[in-house]
C-alpha cells in the first residue's frame, strides 16, 4: 500500500470552515462516538433494503421552530465504497400548509461528531445556519435537513454526501404521513452544504434517475479538493482545525486507501483523539494556527497517486456527471477558501453539455459574505421553478 502524502490529506480546508495524555496506541481510523439513541442504530437487514427505503420514522418536538411540525426519518443509503449505510434526515413541515413544496437543505456541518449533525444540532445550538435553513418555512415550504456526512461523520467525503442527500429525498417522499410524495423538490446548500447539493445534482441522473427535482441551488462549492490541499504547506493556519477534521473524515470513509493516522506523531494522535467528536466551533478554536508540521511524523513523504485519486474522486471538477435539473450556482470571484476557477470550469462544462445552468459570480472575497449575498436570488430561483416559470441560463 502506498504511503499517504500527509501534506495533501491533512491540509484539506473547510467545505463552507496540549498534551500527550490519553494518546491511543492504535493508529487505525478513529470513529465518532455512536449516538446512544436506538433510533440511529441500523437494522441487521439493512443490506436487503434499497437506497432511499425508510428504516423507521418518528414525530419530534419542534416547538423551538415556531409554526412547524417535525419528523425524523432513518433510511438506507450508500457509502463511497458501494456498501449499505443508514442515514437520518429531519423534516420541518409548515403548520397549516397541505402538500407544500419540499426543499432538501444541506446545512453547514464541517464536524466530526454525531451531535454536530442537523438531527441533533438543530436542537443543541450547534447548527450555524439554522436561521437560514428556516427561510423556506416562511415561504410555505417543507424543509428536510439530512445528516449527509453519514453515520461516521465522514467530513470531506463529497460523493457520499451527494448520495445521502438523494436518498434522504427518496425517503421523505415515502413517508405517507408527510404527504410529500408528489410535491415539487429542490435541493440547496452553501459551502460544504453546497458541495453536497452540487454532487447530488450531478449524481441524480445515474444514481436516482427516477427522482424528479425542480431545482438545485449551490454556492461556495469546494469543487477541487486536490487544489485546495496543494495550495497549503506546513505553516500554521487559522483554519487548521477544519483541515485536520477533513483529513480524519476522509480516512473514516477510505480507511484502506487513506491511512492517515499511520503518519501522525504522538502529538497528532493526541489531537485526533481530542477532536474526534468535535463540532465546527471547537475545531476552529482549538485548531487555530496549529500546523501539519506539529502533527506529522515526517515531512518527507512522497506524493501518493492513491491519495490524489481519492481527492479527485471527491472533487466535482473531475466528475463526469452532468445535472439535468435546473441549476443555479453562485461563487465569490476572490474567495480564498473555496476557489472560483474550479467552479467556473464546472459551470462551463455543464453549459457545453446542454445542462440548464445559471452561474452567478460575485465580486466578493469573504466566503460567508457571498452566502448572504447569493441566497436571496437562490431562493427566488427555487420559487420560480416551483411556479413552472421558464428556466434561465447563463450559457
> pLDDT per residue over 235-257, tens digit each?
787 888 988 999 999 999 999 99
Mean pLDDT of 355-366: 95
> pLDDT per residue over 125-155, tens digit each?
898 887 777 889 999 999 999 999 999 999 9
> pLDDT per residue over 67-112, tens digit each?
999 999 999 999 999 999 999 999 999 999 989 999 999 999 999 9
The residue extents of the domains of the chain are: 1-395
If one compares 86 and 372, the residue with the highest pLDDT of the two is: 86
> pLDDT per residue over 209-226, tens digit each?
999 999 999 999 999 998
pTM: 0.92
> What class is the 1-395 domain?
alpha beta
**What's the per-residue H, E or C state across the chain?**
CCCCCHHHHCCCCCCCCCCCCCCCCCCCCCCCCCCCCHHHCCCCCHHHCCCCCEEEEEEECCCCCCCEEEEEEEEEEECCCCCEEEEEEEEEEECCCCCCCEEEEECCCCCCCHHHCHHHHHHHCCCCCHHHHCHHHHCCCEEEEECCCCCCCCCCCHHHHHHHHHHHHHHHHHCHHHCCCCCCEEEEEECHHHHHHHHHHHHHHHHCCCCCCCEEEEECCCCCHHHHHHCCCCCCECCHHHHHHHHHHHHHHCCCCCCHHHHECHHHHHHHHHHCCCCHHHHHHHHCCECHHHHECCCCCCCCHHHHHHHHHCCHHHCCCCCCCCEEEEEECCCCCCCHHHHHHHHHHHHHCCCCEEEEEECCCCHHHHHHHHHHHHHHHHHHHHHCCCCCCCC
Amino acid at each position: 500500500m502506498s504511503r499517504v502524502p500527509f501534506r495533501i490529506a491533512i491540509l484539506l480546508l473547510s467545505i463552507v470552515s496540549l498534551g500527550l495524555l490519553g494518546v491511543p496506541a492504535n493508529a487505525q481510523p478513529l470513529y465518532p462516538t455512536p449516538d446512544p439513541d436506538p433510533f440511529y442504530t441500523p437494522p441487521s437487514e439493512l443490506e436487503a433494503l434499497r437506497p432511499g427505503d425508510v428504516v423507521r420514522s418518528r414525530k419530534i418536538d419542534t416547538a423551538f421552530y415556531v409554526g412547524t411540525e417535525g419528523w425524523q426519518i432513518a433510511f438506507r443509503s450508500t457509502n463511497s465504497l458501494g456498501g449499505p449505510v443508514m442515514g437520518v434526515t429531519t423534516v420541518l413541515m409548515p403548520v397549516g400548509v397541505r402538500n407544500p413544496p419540499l426543499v432538501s437543505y444541506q446545512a453547514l456541518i464541517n464536524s466530526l461528531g454525531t451531535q454536530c449533525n442537523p438531527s441533533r444540532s438543530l436542537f443543541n445550538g450547534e447548527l450555524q445556519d439554522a436561521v437560514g435553513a428556516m427561510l423556506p418555512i416562511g415561504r410555505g415550504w417543507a424543509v428536510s435537513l439530512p445528516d449527509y456526512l453519514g453515520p461516521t461523520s465522514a467530513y470531506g467525503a463529497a460523493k457520499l454526501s451527494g448520495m445521502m442527500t438523494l436518498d434522504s429525498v427518496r425517503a421523505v417522499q415515502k413517508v405517507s404521513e408527510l404527504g410529500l410524495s408528489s410535491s415539487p423538490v429542490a435541493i440547496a446548500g452553501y459551502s460544504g452544504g453546497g458541495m453536497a447539493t452540487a454532487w447530488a445534482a450531478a449524481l441524480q441522473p445515474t444514481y436516482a434517475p427516477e427522482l424528479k427535482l425542480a431545482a438545485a441551488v449551490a454556492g461556495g462549492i469546494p469543487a477541487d479538493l486536490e487544489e485546495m490541499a496543494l495550495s497549503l504547506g506546513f505553516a500554521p493556519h487559522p483554519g487548521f482545525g477544519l483541515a485536520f477534521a477533513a483529513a480524519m473524515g476522509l480516512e473514516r470513509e477510505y480507511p484502506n486507501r487513506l491511512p492517515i493516522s499511520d503518519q501522525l506523531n504522538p502529538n497528532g494522535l493526541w489531537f485526533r483523539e481530542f477532536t474526534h467528536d468535535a463540532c465546527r466551533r471547537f475545531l476552529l478554536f482549538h485548531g487555530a494556527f496549529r500546523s501539519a508540521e506539529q502533527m506529522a511524523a515526517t515531512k518527507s513523504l512522497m506524493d501518493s497517486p492513491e491519495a490524489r485519486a481519492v481527492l479527485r474522486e471527491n472533487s466535482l471538477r473531475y466528475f463526469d456527471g452532468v445535472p439535468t435539473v435546473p441549476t443555479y450556482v453562485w461563487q465569490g470571484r476572490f474567495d480564498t477558501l473555496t476557489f472560483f476557477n474550479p467552479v467556473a470550469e464546472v459551470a462551463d462544462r455543464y453549459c457545453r453539455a446542454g445542462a440548464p445552468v445559471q452561474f452567478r459570480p460575485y465580486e466578493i472575497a469573504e466566503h460567508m459574505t457571498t452566502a448572504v449575498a447569493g441566497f436571496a436570488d437562490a431562493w427566488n430561483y427555487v420559487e420560480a421553478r416551483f411556479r413552472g416559470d421558464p428556466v434561465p441560463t447563463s450559457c
